[in-house]
Structure 1
Amino acid sequence: MSNYLCIDVGGTFIKYAYADRFGKISSKEKEATPANLDGFLAVIRKIVSENAGNIAGIAICCPGKVDRKQGTIFHGGSLPYLDELPLKAILEAEFHLPVGVINDGKAAALSELWLGNLQGCDNGIAIVLGTAIGGGIIANGQLLEGEHFQAGEFSFIVHNPSEQAAKSLIGDRLSAVAFVETGSQKIGLFQADGQLVFDAITEGNQVLVRHLEDYCYELALVILNIQAVLDFSKVVIGGGISAQPRLIQEIDKQLRKIRSDLPALEATMCKPIVLPCKFYNDANILGALYNLLSLSEMADGHKDF
């Protein structure tokens, strides 16, 4: 029995898939994310119970701070009802299967370390652009979790605390959802559409070109400031917006511009390589699986990662 049930808990949908230990995904489904804890647990139990006889383990990623060894979620991010939920203990007791639970941004970083564009990279970061900014840090070839399981919570980088609250944190300023919504408004769309926004950028709409430049300039500043602390060689960009090549090109362009404007920085710091995440929407699923497999190896006395 080599298939694992992999569950990606999001604010809108709970996506789940089946994959083997080599990361090959065989099928994908989704359920609407409930608005309360009872509903959430009911959906998770339904997904697991329908497949418990055919799987070797359950791999879960979710918002919030996660103690991945204990499998307990704190705060819950966009799903605050997950706060202090011992999800690993609950599911292992009910289904007698190994369970792994990890933060979704850290899962994205692990998927890229395992099979993606951070493979073979000792020091790199994943930045996931969505409603806010998630991510994960790979340091010395391992996932950096931090003292309170919150390393890589890039959304909470402070921009200017004297500004209005909605703009004082980087997660609010660099929301990819807000970028697309604002861009859509600028070209008169009644509904936000990221593809149409990038089509207009490709066609040379100067208002949207400047909109993208401003967005990527601020993101490049964040990347350079993180690099000054962590000295990483690669940054991979995830989230749906990362499928747009123009975004990756513009981030790289803004990194070069900032460096050229600051000779001391350019002379001292190596420019990081900027790449998209290889797996896009499957990154969280694969990272959750890698987390489960690595925890199982630790329990068996093997080396982590």
Structure 2
Amino acid sequence: MKEKLLLFDIGGSSIKCGIWENENLLNLDNIQTPDSWDEMKEQFLIVFNRYNDVPFSGVGISCPGAVDTENGVINGISAIAYIHRFPIKKAFEELFGLPVSIQNDANCAGLAELWKGNAQGASSACCMIIGTGIGGAVIIDGKLHSGHNLFGGEFGYQIIDSNSSTTLSEVGSPVKMAKNYTKQKADGTVYNGEDVFKFAENGDELAEKMRSKLLDALSLGIYNLLVSINPEKILIGGGISKNASLIPELKLRTENLLKDKGAKELDFEIQECRFFSDSNLIGAAYQYVLENT
């Protein structure tokens, strides 16, 4: 693709900006998420005008929420209330005077893996993006499947404890695990998920207990995907995927669950996602390609 695309990855606290050109991504800016729609349009135009020396062909946008790509509306809820429930795609096209595509951020991560990453060539894959919550994407026969109500990939809503109605996002999030560890240690230090994993490896009993609980939850979530969707690959994304012990641990625990429940012949592969912080921008570029070629 020879086109030059301007890309935005809208997050709750910051927005990443990039350019896709000659099959390469150039990261440009990281701006604070504005407080209003008018401010967002103003900031986007500043970026657009700054890098439009060679004219852009179009704009690709990754964002939170249940994105209706057909009607150009972001449904659901997110930390950015003002982007929801109006024809935002049309508004962006009028702002830039160019074709615009929009897609959910977790779906963009899945599209990046399908296009250029570890889902290439796979008959089917589930991308599980692990962070504050658990999101993701479902890919079947080389296509993104968003579901009847655009809820495909919302793996974090799985209830993994029927007694308490606890969801995967509540127990499988390293961010929530770290907050819980910080609260229980109560030593004045704020810890993150990477800290808890490191402490567990060094023999900290509390950290190991919390790490094991998180891994059990994630493995149960993966098990549910394997027996319901039966993908060829499970791809793990988010900062936690950089931990060297994560994939082997998840594979072992998932295999044990399958064996215990009589499904040990089920064949699957677990890998980390190829792309990390760039995945949403790359996926936004691919969404644009899908809509405009």
Both structures adopt the same fold (TM-score exceeding 0.5): yes
Question: How many angstroms apart in 2 are the aligned matches of 1:28 and 1:201?
Answer: 37
Tell me by how many angstroms 1:212 deviates. 1.6
Question: How many angstroms apart in 1 are the aligned matches of 2:218 and 2:188?
Answer: 25
The equivalent of 1:151 in structure 2 is 152
Question: How many angstroms apart in 1 are the aligned matches of 2:146 and 2:101?
Answer: 15
- Write the mapping of 1:217-232 to structure 2, written as runs, cut at 5 A: 217-232=216-231
- Write the mapping of 1:256-271 to structure 2, written as runs, cut at 5 A: 256-262=255-261, 264-267=262-265, 269-270=266-267
The equivalent of 1:83 in structure 2 is 84
Matching residue's letter, 1:243: K
CA displacement 1:85-121 (0-9 Å, x = unmatched)? 3222112123221211000010000000111111111
Tell me by how many angstroms 1:162 deviates. 5.8
Q: Identity percentage over the alignment?
A: 27
Question: How many angstroms apart in 1 are the aligned matches of 2:138 and 2:192?
Answer: 30
Matching residue's letter, 1:259: L
More helix by share: 1
- Write the mapping of 1:43-192 to structure 2, written as runs, cut at 5 A: 43-54=43-54, 55-160=56-161, 163=164, 168-185=166-183, 188=187, 190-192=189-191
Question: How many angstroms apart in 1 are the aligned matches of 2:182 and 2:248?
Answer: 21
Matching residue's letter, 1:40: M
CA displacement 1:241-284 (0-9 Å, x = unmatched)? 2111222222112112222323x1214x22x2111111111111
The equivalent of 1:303 in structure 2 is none
The equivalent of 1:301 in structure 2 is none
Distance 1:244 1:186, change over 3 A: farther
Asked if the contact 1:13–1:32 (Cα under 8 Å) also holds between the matched residues in 2, the reply is: yes
3-state SS of the aligned residue for 1:81? Answer: helix
Question: How many angstroms apart in 2 are the aligned matches of 1:43 and 1:175?
Answer: 32
Over the aligned positions, Cα root-mean-square deviation in angstroms equals: 2.1
Matching residue's letter, 2:119: L
Asked if the contact 1:8–1:60 (Cα under 8 Å) also holds between the matched residues in 2, the reply is: yes
3-state SS of the aligned residue for 1:280? Answer: coil
Tell me by how many angstroms 1:193 deviates. 2.9
3-state SS of the aligned residue for 2:271? Answer: strand
Matching residue's letter, 2:269: I
Distance 1:200 1:186, change over 3 A: farther
Question: How many angstroms apart in 1 are the aligned matches of 2:196 and 2:171?
Answer: 18
Structure 1 unaligned blocks of 5 or more: 298-305
Question: How many angstroms apart in 1 are the aligned matches of 2:243 and 2:51?
Answer: 36
Question: How many angstroms apart in 2 are the aligned matches of 1:78 and 1:171?
Answer: 16
